[in-house]
Amino acid sequence: MTATLNTETDSTTQSAAGEMESKPQELHLRSETAAPELARERGAVLRGVSERDAALDLNDYDIELGDETMIINMGPQHPSTHGVLRVMMELRGEQVLRTKPVIGYLHTGMEKTAETLTFNQGGTNVTRMDYLSPFCNELTFSLAVEKLLAVEIPERATWIRMLMAELNRMASHLLFQATNGMDLGAVGMMIYGWREREELLTFFEKVTGLRMNHNYIRPGGVAVDLPDGWQQDVLDICDLVEPRLDQYDTLLTGQPIYRDRTMGVGVITAEEAIALSATGPILRGTGVAWDLRKDQPYLFYDQVEFDVIVGTQGDAFDRYAIRLNEIRESARIVRQIVDLMPPGDYRSQNKKITPPPRSRIDESMEALIHHFKLMTEGFRVPAGEVYVATESPRGELGCYLVSDGGAKPYRMHWRGPSFVNLQSMPTMMQGAMIADAIAVISSVDPVLGEVDR
């Protein structure tokens, strides 16, 4: 009898272990989870830097909870997990005990795909990763390719890139305002955020012909010059958006319910954020003024005036306020760019990477052949490897590019800020309630296209 019981126990343990093996990404019962894993799910940073970690006793996790807890699955089809993020949580009543983000539902193998596309075609691929800030993806990719090529980009092209990147930052943060408001129950914000973003998308469409996935910033410059009257368009957008932000202040920032819902929720300290490699608003929310635009200036960010917004508490409200004020800062940068924009070429005149203009193709056989070669074979990039990072709306967006001297990347890897920021989520959810979990997911503002790539 005893033997039978033992066998049964063994078989259940085995099947549990087997299940664990087959679904290593998911959250499992406490009895089936190893202590370090359990600690991570509880929010430990495990780098020995955090006071919270030091206070954590791994033995504490063996507390007898019996069947008082419930493992709940939030996503991948859930109204507030921003696409296909799946968060598994262990709940005791309303309280969240453990959290585990499960990712991969949108994996399309973009990094692998890049190896089959020429450097010229690469833009169409990478622009689809963080679909809320496509210009930033294109920019980072182009900068990486240009660094390998060691070509000079005309000044005007660089200013245009900066303009588009900043407008994109505004669009992305406006979308955050929309989704954040909706996640916390202020459904009106959903529409207001989209409404303002719409103005920006209309401008993007006017410039690039597309509302998303533009492939506008390309190695060597940008696809086309800005349309006539762009200055007025851009200034109109700034004039429109800035007063609307004050309306957001009235609707959310000063709203007591909103403050109660976000202040002190999803707190993360500077040490923890750094240990978890969090960047962007999450890191700045803790008071660390880390902004690549200031700290490792690229493009002409050292020639414009803007402030890095930081918080002090590292809570959801700080992250909200930072994003709100970053829209204002971006508008400030955009206004300066309108004044500073020089005349000149919008793309490099280096014939190695830039195809001849359309008019030359009609009159010169060489130009036609050259154009054809560039479009089919692409241009060759000297062998080497390079890492280029820019400040995307979500944090440090890095592109690691290896070339073997051919026309296609040998290897491409991205440091997606959404992906890296996601791992700080269990830490932020320590001691949270279900409603806080939503606020935290919202304040991380992940784009799953970039997380899964």
Partner 1 sequence: MMALLAQVTDAGDPLFEKGVKLFSTVMLIVLIKAVLAFVILLVAVLLMVWFERKVISDMQDRIGPNRAGPWGLLQTLADGTKLFFKETLFPERADKAVFRLAPYLSAVPAFLTFAVIPVGGVVHWFGHTWNLQLADPPIGVLFSLAISSIAVYGIMLAGWSSGSKYPLIGSVRATAQMVSYEAAMGLAVATVVLKSSSLRTGTIVAQQVGTAHIGRLSLGWISGWNIIALGFVPAIIFAIAGTAELNRPPFDLVEAESELVGGFHTEYASARFAFFYLAEFMNTITMSALIITLFLGGPLGPDTGIWGLGRLSPVWFLAKLLVLLFCYVWIRGTLPRFRYDQLMDLGWKKLIPAALFWLLVIATIRLGGSTGDKLLHFAVAIPVVAIGVWVLVTAMRRGRERTDAKNAAMAAKTLTTGRPGRF
Determine the Cα angle at 40 with ends 290 and 83, to 5°: 70
Among 29, 46, 54, 191, binds partner 1 (CB under 8 A): 191
Where does this chain touch partner 1 (CB under 8 A) — which range of 181-189, 218-226, 344-352, 423-431?
181-189
- SS3 at position 408: coil
To partner 1, the closest distance from the beta carbon of 452 in angstroms equals 22
Among 78, 211, 360, 415, binds partner 1 (CB under 8 A): 78
- SS3 at position 9: helix
For residue 290, give the DSSP letter: -
- b (16+ CB within 10 A) / e for 362-380: eeeeebeebbeebeeebbb
Q: Using DSSP, how many helices (H) and how many strands (E) does the chain show? A: 20, 8
Listing DSSP states for 21-55 in one string gives: HH-TTS---GGGS-HHHHHHHHT---SS--HHHHH
Among 255, 277, 296, 423, binds partner 1 (CB under 8 A): 255
Among 145, 310, 327, 451, binds partner 1 (CB under 8 A): 310
Where does this chain touch partner 1 (CB under 8 A) — which range of 185-193, 205-213, 217-225, 295-303?
185-193
Applying CB under 8 A, what is the total number of residues that bind partner 1?
49
To partner 1, the closest distance from the beta carbon of 97 in angstroms equals 14
Residue in 175, 166, 170 with CA at minimum distance from that of residue 334: 166
Among 104, 188, 297, 405, binds partner 1 (CB under 8 A): 188
Is residue 433 at the binding interface for partner 1, with CB under 8 A as the rule?
A: yes
The site string for partner 1 over 192-211 (x = CB under 8 A, - otherwise) reads x--x----------------
Identity of the amino acid at 3: A
Among 29, 58, 70, 224, binds partner 1 (CB under 8 A): 70
Is residue 187 at the binding interface for partner 1, with CB under 8 A as the rule?
A: yes
Among 60, 260, 366, 385, binds partner 1 (CB under 8 A): 260
Residue in 36, 82, 29 with CA at minimum distance from that of residue 438: 82
Is residue 69 at the binding interface for partner 1, with CB under 8 A as the rule?
A: no
Alpha-carbon distance of 260 to 253, in angstroms, equals: 11
Place of tokens 């078989």: 11
Is residue 443 at the binding interface for partner 1, with CB under 8 A as the rule?
A: no
Is residue 239 at the binding interface for partner 1, with CB under 8 A as the rule?
A: no
Where does this chain touch partner 1 (CB under 8 A) — which range of 10-18, 106-114, 139-147, 429-437?
429-437
Is residue 321 at the binding interface for partner 1, with CB under 8 A as the rule?
A: yes
Q: Sheet of 409-415: strands edge to edge?
A: 384-392, 395-403, 409-415
- SS3 at position 88: strand
In the chain the first and final C-alpha atoms are separated, in Å, by 53
To partner 1, the closest distance from the beta carbon of 87 in angstroms equals 12
Listing DSSP states for 59-77 in one string gives: GGGG---TT--EEEEE-SS
By CB neighbour count within 10 A (0-12 exposed, 13-18 middle, 19+ buried), where does 39 fall?
Answer: buried
Alpha-carbon distance of 199 to 240, in angstroms, equals: 9
Is residue 368 at the binding interface for partner 1, with CB under 8 A as the rule?
A: no
Among 261, 293, 323, 408, binds partner 1 (CB under 8 A): 261
Alpha-carbon distance of 388 to 161, in angstroms, equals: 15
Q: 80 or 296: whose CB is closer to partner 1?
A: 80
To partner 1, the closest distance from the beta carbon of 232 in angstroms equals 23
To partner 1, the closest distance from the beta carbon of 258 in angstroms equals 5
Token pair belonging to 171: 């669009």
Is residue 93 at the binding interface for partner 1, with CB under 8 A as the rule?
A: yes
Q: Which residues bind partner 1 (CB under 8 A)?
A: 70, 72-73, 78-80, 91, 93-94, 181-188, 190-192, 195, 246, 249, 251-255, 257-258, 260-261, 289, 307-313, 321, 325, 328-329, 433-436, 438
